[in-house]
Amino acid sequence: MKHLNKAGFDIVLTSRDIKKAQMLVDTFDFEVSVEPYEDLEKLLNEIPIMITATAAPYPIIKESMVKNCSFGRHWFDIAVPRDIEEIESSNLKIYAVDDLQEIVNSNMTLRAEQAKRAYQIVNQESEEFFKWLKSLEVEPVVKHLYTKADDVIEKKLQNAIKKGFVKAEDEENIKKLCQTVLNEFLHEPTTRLKKISKDVECDIILGTVQSVFGLESKSNSIQKCDHAIKFNN
């Protein structure tokens, strides 16, 4: 009844023991109508949805009680043994315990399929995340490589000016020329470095580049790449 009320239904309760029915209704903080059990047949043919769960040892709702109605009716018999006879009537669908179990099984199968799909989505997004995470390790190495090269250009250029090898007024032009040569030379290596960020060997390659060029390593790329490998496996 709590679920029915939450779904917006008007609820009618009937029972052989009207006092117990009223006591049950009094425990709720929403309105429930209590109708006498003698009106059961009338209620069956006026209300579209019914749930029955009695302890009766035999069916209490018989085919003779059911009239054809213009509206659709859905009856849920959750009693064992059943409360409702096998009834054929237009616009009437009866769900017994076995039917409900089939619905539960169907829902569980659907949930399992959805859970599998959700896992695939999470797995795919996680792989993309770790690829992105590894790409973050490449950018500082590339930037550091260019920065160190610029430092070398500046140092050598100032030394050449100091010794009189080049004129001070030519400093900017020479610097631009050196940087152009540098960019041309480093273009292909840095492009390849960015591509290897998608490979699981990225930590080894980046470590080698940093070691060869004497670049400081303040990252933990090996740890991050290892995480990605473990997840993918």
Torsion of CA 167, 169, 172, 178, to 10 degrees: -20
List of residues 6+ apart from 193 with CB closer than 8 A: 138, 141, 142, 205, 206, 209
Domains of the chain: 2-97 (3.40.50.720), 124-232 (no CATH)
Q: State percent of the chain over pLDDT 90.
A: 30
Give the pLDDT score at 165: 85
Residue 119 or 142, more confident: 119
Q: What is the pTM of this model?
A: 0.45
CA distance 190 to 220: 20
pLDDT digits (tens, 9 = 90+) for 69-108: 889 999 999 888 889 998 888 889 998 887 777 777 788 8
Instruction: Kindly provide the residue ranges of all beta strands, DSSP E only, lying in the chain, ordered along the sequence.
Output: 12-15, 33-36, 49-52, 73-77, 92-95
